Amino acid sequence: MLNAIIFDMDGTLADTEEIHRQAFNAAFAEFHIDCEWSPEEYKQLLSVSGGKERIRAYLLNHQLVDLPRREIIKLASTIHKRKSEIYREKLVQGHVQLRPGVAKLINAATAEGVRLGIATSSSARNVEALLTNAMGPEALELFDCIVTCEIVTDKKPSPSVYQFTLAEMGLSPSHCIAIEDTQNGNRAALGAGLKTIITTHAFTLDDDFSGAELVVDQLGEPGNPFQVIAGNARGYHYVSIDLLRDILAEEDEQEAWTGNEAMAAK
């Protein structure tokens, strides 16, 4: 039984990572930090979950400012606050759209009574800005549960954000699917007992997605099929409610088979 789909946000619902990169660089410039992250460098930096943590690690590792460690940590938080403001300004200006297949899957889930959740390392303000600008003012009401970095401070690959989301929704991981876009996100969801589908983008193509049920270049939709990078698409050409149900049904069948074998052994 498919009870819920739990989405990551950045890079999964919308291709926002390039907007984030531009916002980081704009914030660095405002604070006169001699740093401009290239797409290649930012791709590597995504191994650190959380924007504030990413800035902090970079400043400490590259010694770009002559300050004590405690002051660098405070500076990283200040830069990140401004970076988030710049990012939201870009969203309001219309620099974001949902990735292919996202709207169709959300609409299908809503129509069939499958609940929706978001488990993200981003902030509540960023979630609201993205959803309302990409989907409209009623978008937040589509999701039963939205868990952000203000609620769960442990960042992916810690499974905490998914564990908290499942607890809030009162659901077993065996009846839910997580949709992610990064190696850390995949590890977090798997650590919480969830099966995963990965939708890659330019910044995560080379990530290790071991354990994922399916890795595709996008969720796809009729007339715009996904490209399978790894895993078994089970004859489907886009991520649908039926595909998600088939993935969970296979686990149920395996559990039933294992149980029958155990009974026979007795």
User: Could you please report the per-residue DSSP string of 153-171?
Assistant: -SPTTSTHHHHHHHHHHT-
SS3 for 210?
Answer: coil
Which residue type sits at 23? A
Q: Which residue has the tokens 């686990």?
A: 251
Q: How far from each other are the two terminal CA atoms of the chain, in whole angstroms? A: 29
Question: Which residues does the annotation mark as catalytic?
Answer: 8, 10
CA distance 31 to 134: 30
Residue 125 burial (C-beta neighbours within 10 Å; 0-12, 13-18, 19+): middle
Judge whether 230 and 204 are in contact, CB under 8 Å: no
**For 84-103, b where at least 16 C-beta lie within 10 A, e where not — what string?**
bebbbebbeeeebebbbbbb
List Cα–Cα distances, 83 to 13, 43, 71, 225, 253, in angstroms.
20, 18, 18, 35, 48
Which residue type sits at 234? R
